[in-house]
Amino acid sequence: MIITPLLVLFLIVVFVLIFLFLNTVDKRKWLTALLSLVLTPFAFLFMFYPFLNILSNYHHQKYFNSEAWTENPNLRYEMIDYTIESDTLIGVSKDKIKTLLGAEEWLTWDDAKKAHDTNKWNYALGIEPGAFTEHKECVEITFENDKVIALKPYREAITFENTADEKE
């Protein structure tokens, strides 16, 4: 466990609360101090830390890996930040992108042409973990002269579609 200012602050608050509570039960200061020191880490590890993990959406960042991209499409969000920052895919041809990422999952709609834009490929990245996640992550890859010029991450609302079987 990494000791951070938030951890130290929480431990002090829990210690004071436990100390004050135990002081009402038993007037022996040394015993309440000892029990507070013992119970404070348990209160942190079993109450606050799990609650913090549920509410936060921290996830590991990984380097781009073509095999992991195709095998675990729900975990692509772990690779995309580094991929965009490092310009790993900028300048890569459409054929190489198809080899690395697989065929496009959908194309961007172009209202001016009233058709799909074959130079804007989209891939789903999965849903980032967290208690109140309402969006799924996606990335749009833009091509110019059959070379990648931009990667643009965006979010879409998570929707659940009813099938004919569910309506009956």
pLDDT on residue 147: 96
Are the beta carbons of 45 and 38 closer than 8 angstroms? Answer: no
Domains in the chain and their CATH numbers?
A: 5-55 (no CATH), 66-157 (3.30.1450)
Residue 163 above 80 pLDDT? Answer: no
Buried-state track 75-108, b at ≥16 Cβ within 10 A, e below 16: ebbbbbeebbeeebbeebebeebeebbeebeeeb
The predicted-structure confidence for 34-65, as pLDDT tens digits, reads as follows: 877 788 778 777 877 777 777 776 667 788 88
Residue bearing the bigger pLDDT, 34 or 142: 142
Look up the pTM and report it: 0.67
